[in-house]
Amino acid sequence: MSAPVMVGMQLPDVDVWSERVTVALGQNPSLFTGPGTNTYLIGTGPERMLLDPGQGVPGYLPVLEHAMQRSGCQRLQEIVLTHGHPDHIGGVRAVRERFGPLRVSKFPWPEVDAGFADLELQTLSDGAVLRTEGATLRGVHTPGHAPDHLCFVLEEEHALFSGDNVLGVGTTVIPNQNGDLGQYLGSLARLLALEPRRIYPAHGPLIEDGVAKLREYIAHRHERERQILAVLERGPSEVMEIVRSVYAAYPQALHTAAAQSTTQHLRKLEREGRVRASAGDPLAARWTLT
């Protein structure tokens, strides 16, 4: 799950983005995945890491094999996951059926991981280092979009695999269930402090200036917060009223996703003591400035 505004964007199925990064498109375009999940072959040797094997759609394996041929990758070393959302972990079983029982590692999220007990998931903690010929990955725990989210610094390029935290186009959905906007903003600040050059996102095209994109993402959230507060300054409002005002330029089909982001902003403001809700259910409540 990522960015609803990427609908219709086209990317090549296979692309070589650096001497150690080849992308294979996950073949799962949708309202929430844009062109599909970017799956990455990482390294320079005959055996490489696969970061995020996509959603598990049948058309993906031939694309992955094409990407391996094109980049000179003869075998997969292991599978590494940015997080446990279905468009990232869903393809693991099909890849293992094709290439054998590869090691799969991720940051733990017990509720999700329980559904993948057959994979014998290996734990990656914050700061975990993974190595293959020509590439070193360092995990950075970046919760907010998902509690188990890891980004990975690619040390050799001072670059970042950003998962769903930063996207090639559009913005990240912070789901009401298990998402946390406050944590997400903390994660963006942590990534900015790393001053990455390139960002390799989980959806959409390569980002050449990582620092500029992170600054843009942080500014975007602050602007949304300002817009939501401006609506409440005019009087108490329900979430959907705020959405119709703030997201007036977006198609109505996206308003449900926008309601999640808006609710996340309101919850963050509520924790900060700046707004309050008239009822426990955030969608049914009227929200007021304190």
* Interacting residue ranges for Zn ion, rule: CB under 5 A: 1, 85, 164
Quick one: which of 248, 235, 233, 241 has its CA closest to 263?
241
Q: Which of 203, 267 has the CB closer to Zn ion?
A: 203
Which residue lies nearest Zn ion, judged by its C-beta?
85
CA distance 19 to 106: 25
Q: Measured from the CB of residue 166, what is the shortest distance to Zn ion in angstroms?
A: 12
Q: Give the span between the Cα atoms of 79 and 168, in whole angstroms.
A: 22
Minimum distance, C-beta of residue 82 to Zn ion, in the bound complex (Å): 8
Q: What phi and psi values does residue 216 have, to the nearest 5 degrees?
A: -65, -40
Q: How far is the CB of 145 from Zn ion (least distance, A)?
A: 6
Q: Give the count of beta carbons closer than 10 Å to the beta carbon of residue 281.
A: 9
Smallest distance from the beta carbon of 170 to Zn ion, in angstroms?
Answer: 13
With respect to Zn ion, which residue has the nearer C-beta, 45 or 86?
A: 86
* Assigned token pair, 206: 């390569």
List 201's β-bridge partners, or say none.
Answer: 163
User: Which 3 state secondary structure label does DSSP give 267?
Assistant: helix
3-state secondary structure of 61: helix
CB closer to Zn ion out of 57 and 73 = 57
Nearer CB in complex with Zn ion: 132/142: 142
- Cβ atoms 90, 54 nearer than 8 A: yes
Indicate the residue among 178 and 245 with the shorter CB distance to Zn ion.
178
**Least distance CB 165 / Zn ion (angstroms):** 9
Q: Show the tokens assigned to 23.
A: 């992308």
